[in-house]
Amino acid sequence: MGNEDQLSDLAALRFYLDPDAPELIGKLDLHLKDGMHFQEREHQYQQFYFIKKNFDSLELYYRKYHRLVLSYGGEGSDRYYYIDFNGSDRGSIDGEHRYFLRPEFVIIGFMIHKVIFIDRNFELTSVSKLQTVILTEYEELLEDIYRLLAKLRRSTATTMSNDRVREIVLEALREFKKLGWIIMDEDFFDIMPSFSRLNKVYADYINNLEDLIKH
């Protein structure tokens, strides 16, 4: 057993032999534990290829020493890596790094998914245009969106306004940026492959968005 444990320890720590480890592993570890997703995109190339190259070692490391599941999704150039908090407990992560997506941001994520992927607005990359589309092209849902967002914010629907919804949309986008689900720079945003995690985790709700909002 002793030799097996030693071999397991060596396998779990093999990623430290990578010449890029000293530069990358500290911040990469914190970002993964904060819920960030890494994909083959320009702003994440180094981290993505480091994880890809050392996946077996890193997967064993997080499972053995932190009781966490390092996982991946997507195919080909849309592959992304993340710690799957839905498939495990929070392991050894302390409270400061235990990330939870707020329910109102999940609702906004549903709306973004509907606007871009279900209703096929693939060219939409403007934050202000997205806010306007949600407020003007989904008027039949707006009253219910007000009510649901107000409930989640523990306020009344009468305190909601178009300006407040715009603020919540912007707040949600900022959170999605932290997760690596989008990139955003001032008024520009772009959906990353890992945004599909929203669909995977909440697929039943997304497919029944209007019923969710109205109940």
Q: Do 93 and 148 fall into the same domain?
A: no
Shared domain for 49 and 130, answered yes or no, is no
Residues 69 and 132 occupy one common structural domain: no
Residues 93 and 109 in one domain: no
Residue 169 and residue 69 share a domain: no
Assign residue 36 the CATH number of its domain: 1.10.10.2250
Instruction: Please give the average per-residue pLDDT across 98-122, as a whole number.
Output: 86
The pLDDT of residue 1 is 47
DSSP string, 93-118: --GGG-----HHHHHHHHHHHIIIII
How far is it, in rounded angstroms, from Cα 62 to Cα 39?
Answer: 19
Where does a domain end: 31, 66, 97?
97
Higher pLDDT, 211 or 78: 78
Q: Which residues contact 127 (CB under 8 A, 6 or more apart)?
A: 169, 170, 173, 184, 186, 187, 188, 189
Rounded distance, CA 166 to CA 112, Å?
13
What dihedral do alpha carbons 172, 201, 195, 83 form, nearest 10°? Answer: 100
What tens digit of pLDDT does each residue of 50-94 get? 999 999 999 999 999 999 999 999 999 999 999 998 655 555 565
* Domain termination residue (choose one: 97, 131, 160): 97
Mean per-residue pLDDT, 189-213: 78
Residues 143 and 115 reside in one and the same domain: yes
Residues 191, 155 share a domain: yes
Question: What's the domain range around 142?
Answer: 103-214
Q: Please, what is the average pLDDT of the chain?
A: 86
Domain count along the chain? 2
Q: Are 147 and 126 contained in the same domain? A: yes
